Amino acid sequence: MSLVFDEYGRPFIILREQQAQNRLKGLEAQKSNIMAARSVSQILRTSFGPKGMDKMLVNSDGDVTISNDGATILQKMDVEHQVARLLVELSQSQDEEIGDGTTGVVVLAGALLEQAEKLLDRGLHPVRMAEGFEKACQLAMAHLETIADSVSFGRENIEPLYDTAMTTLSSKIVNIHKSKMARIAVDAVLSVADLERKDVNFDMIKVEGKPGGRLEDTELVRGIVVDKEISHPQMPKTIKDAKIAILTCPFEPPKPKTKHKLDISSREAYERLYEREQEYFTTMVRQCKDSGANLIICQWGFDDEANHLLLQNQLPAVRWVGGVELELIAIATGGRIVPRFSELSPEKLGRAGLVREVAFGTTKERMLVIEDCAKSQAVTILVRGGNKMIVEEAKRSLHDAMCVVRNLIKDNRIVYGGGSAEISCSIAVAKAADTETGVDQYAIRAFADALDDVPMALAENAGLSPITELSQVKSQQIKDGNPHIGVDCMQSGVADMRTQRIFETLIGKQQQFQLATQLVRMVLKIDDVLMHGNFQ
C-alpha cells in the first residue's frame, strides 16, 4: 500500500489491489479505443491501391454513393465511437492539405495501432511507446528525403506532372480513362499556375458535372461554364466581344419596407401605378444599355415584363446566377459586381471574347460558356457520365489528381509508389532500432513493422500473397541497394517503380507519416473516456 494526499492535504491510503485495478482499467480503455480505430481502418484497407475494391454507401434517404476515396467513405459513414471519429478527421486533414493518400494514411494509422496493442500486452508504457513512435517517424521522414528524386518540368515538358496524375487516378473508378483524365487535370492546373512563384490558384478552376453522355466526353473548357441558360428563347445564343454587366440588384420595382397598404379604387389610379412601374423598368434597361453592356448576368430573377423589355432592347440576359459563380465571372472577366443600376458604368463591365449557350444531346439541358476571359485564364472541367453517381466520383477523382499536380509544382521532389518508399523506410528504421539501447527500441521496431503493412495491403488487394511479396521485395531492396523496388500490383513483370513511372509527391508521403503518428500518439495517451464529462 502507499500513502497519498488529496487536494486539502488530507492523507489516505491506496491499496496495491486498487492501483492494479486502476492500471487494468486504463489498459482496457486503451485497448477499446485501439479496437474502435482499427475497425474503421480495416474497412478502408480493402480499398487501398490500384486494385482496391469500392464501397457502396447508402444514406438515410436512400441515396447511393460508390467510391474508394478514403475521405469520402469515412465522411459518409455513420461513425459513433469517439476515437473512431478521430480517424475520419485524420482522413479529412490529409484530403484538405494534400488531396491524395486519404486511404493510405488510415491504413498506416491502423497498422501502428495494431503494433501498439501488441506492445501494451508486453507491458510497455503508452507514453514511452508514443515517444518511440515519434522518434521513428522523424527517422522515416529523414530517410524519405534521402531516397527522393527531383523532377524538372515546365509548360513544354509536362510528363512528370502527367505521370503523377496517372498514379493518383490508377486507384479510382475512372482509371479506364485515366490517360485523358490526367491530361485534363494537368492542363487545368497549368492554365492557372504561376510556375515562377510556385503557386496555383484553385479558385480559378471550376469543376461542373452533367449526367448524360459518356465519361470520355469529359472536356476542359478554356473559360467559365455556368449551369444556366439565356432567359428568353428569342435572345441571341452567341455573343462575341461580350461586355458583361454583373448585377446583384433585381429587375423589378423597389418594394417599400413598410406595413402600409395601397388600395387602388379607380382605373386612373391603376394606370398611374402601371406607368410608374413601367418607368422603373425602362429606366433600369436604359441604364444597362447606356453603360455599353451587351450581356446581363443577374444574381436575382426577373419577371416576364422585364424579360420582354430586355428582348426588345436586344439585351440578352442570364438570371439566378449563384454568388460564388458571380464572383468567379467578375474575377475572370475583370468586371465589377454592381449592387445598383445607377452605379453602372462602362469601366465596371466585364469582358470576354465569346459567350455561347451549349445544348446537350437530345435533351433541353443547356449551359452557358464564357470563353476568352479578359483578366484571367479561368478554366472549367465539364464532367460527363452515365449517371449522377459516376459524375460525382469522377469529380472527386479529378480533384485528387489536380491537388497532386499542385503539390508537385510547389515542391518538385517525388518518392516512388508501389510501397517501395515504405519498405525502404522500414529497413532504415529497423536498422536504427538495433542501435537503440532503451525501451524505445521496441516502439521503433514496431513502427518499422507497421510500415510493412502498407505494401502487404497493396499485395493483398492485387490478389498476390502478401507475405511472399513483401519478403521478396524487401530482400531485393537490401540486396541491390535499390529503394525504388516495390509491389508490382499491375503484374507487369517489372518491380522497379522508377521504370514503371509510378510515383507520388514527397510532401504527400511525409504528411501521411506525420498525421498517422500524431493520431496514434493521441489515442495511446487516452486512458479513460468520460461521457459528457461525468465520472461513472
Query: Known catalytic residue: 69?
Result: yes
pLDDT at residue 4, as a whole number: 59
- pLDDT: which is higher, 5 or 283: 283
Q: 361: pLDDT confidence band, cut at 50, 70 and 90?
A: low
In angstroms, rounded to a whole number, what is the distance separating the alpha carbons of residues 478 and 177?
36
Average pLDDT over residues 252-278: 79
Going 445 to 449 to 454 to 455, the CA torsion angle's sign is: positive
CATH at 366: 3.50.7.10
Query: What pLDDT does residue 20 have?
Result: 47
User: Are 369 and 434 contained in the same domain?
Assistant: no
Nine-digit cell at 489?
500490383
Residue 440, Ramachandran bin (φ over 0: left; ψ between -120 and 50: alpha; else beta): alpha
Active site residue 499: no
In this structure, the answer to whether residues 237 and 367 fall within a common structural domain is yes
Residue 26, pLDDT above cutoff 60: no
Do 372 and 261 belong together in one domain? yes
Same domain for 364 and 422, yes or no, is no
Q: Name 121's Cβ contacts closer than 8 Å, sequence gap at least 6.
A: none
pLDDT in tens, 270-328: 888 888 888 888 888 888 888 888 999 998 888 788 888 888 888 899 988 888 888 88
| Residues 245, 349 within the same domain | yes
Residue 194 lies in a domain: no
For 58-72, 250-264, 348-362, which range has the lowest pLDDT when averaged over its residues? 250-264
- Note whether residue 392 is domain-resident: no
Domain boundary, last residue among 376, 402, 437: 376
Q: Which of 102, 167, 380, 505 is catalytic?
A: 102
Asked if 100 is an active-site residue, the reply is no
Cα-based distances in Å from 173 to 34, 80, 139, 209, 381: 31, 28, 35, 16, 18
pLDDT in tens, 469-479: 889 989 988 88
List 13's β-bridge partners, or say none.
3
> How far is 348 from 11, CA to CA, in rounded Å?
79
Q: What is the pLDDT of residue 12?
A: 56
On whether both 422 and 512 belong to a single domain, the answer is yes
Q: Is there a domain that residue 420 lies in? A: yes
Containing structural domain, residue 471? 15-150+415-533
**296 vs 252: which has the higher pLDDT:** 296
Largest CA distance in the chain: 102
The answer to whether residue 505 sits within a structural domain is yes
Cell 478514403, residue located: 70
* 72: annotated active-site residue: no
What's the distance, Cα to Cα, between the start and end of the chain in Å?
Answer: 25
Among 346, 376, 406, the domain boundary falls at: 376
Active-site hit among 46, 65, 72, 103: 103
- Domain membership flag for residue 99: yes
What confidence score (pLDDT) does residue 9 get? 65
Average pLDDT over residues 50-63: 85
Per-residue pLDDT reduced to its tens digit, 121-144: 888 888 888 889 999 999 999 999
* Residue 269 is assigned to a structural domain of this protein: yes
Identify whether residues 363 and 419 lie together within a single domain: no
Following DSSP, what letter does each residue of 286-303 receive, concatenated?
HHHHHTT-SEEEESS-B-
Domain match, 359 and 232 both: yes
Residue 104 gets the label, from left (phi > 0), alpha (psi -120 to 50) or beta, of alpha
What average pLDDT does the structure give for the chain? Answer: 84
Q: What is the mean pLDDT of residues 520-533?
A: 76
| Distance from C-alpha of 277 to C-alpha of 126, rounded to nearest angstrom | 76
Instruction: Provide the CATH number for the domain around residue 37.
Output: 1.10.560.10
Domain presence at residue 190: no
Q: What is the pLDDT of residue 5?
A: 62
Among candidate residues 351, 376, 401, the one where a domain is terminated: 376
In the set 69, 163, 440, 488, the catalytic residue is 69
Is residue 321 in some structural domain? yes
Helix 126-147 and helix 102-121, axial crossing angle in degrees, nearest 10? 140
Strand locations in 305-450, DSSP E? Answer: 317-318, 337-338, 350-359, 366-373, 379-385, 413-416
Same domain, residue pair 352 and 455: no
Q: Are residues 230 and 368 in the same domain?
A: yes
Residues 461 and 368 placed together within one structural domain of the fold: no
- Structural domain count, the chain: 2
User: Are 325 and 435 part of one and the same domain?
Assistant: no
Mean pLDDT of 482-500: 84
* Residue tagged active-site, from 95, 400, 453, 488: 400
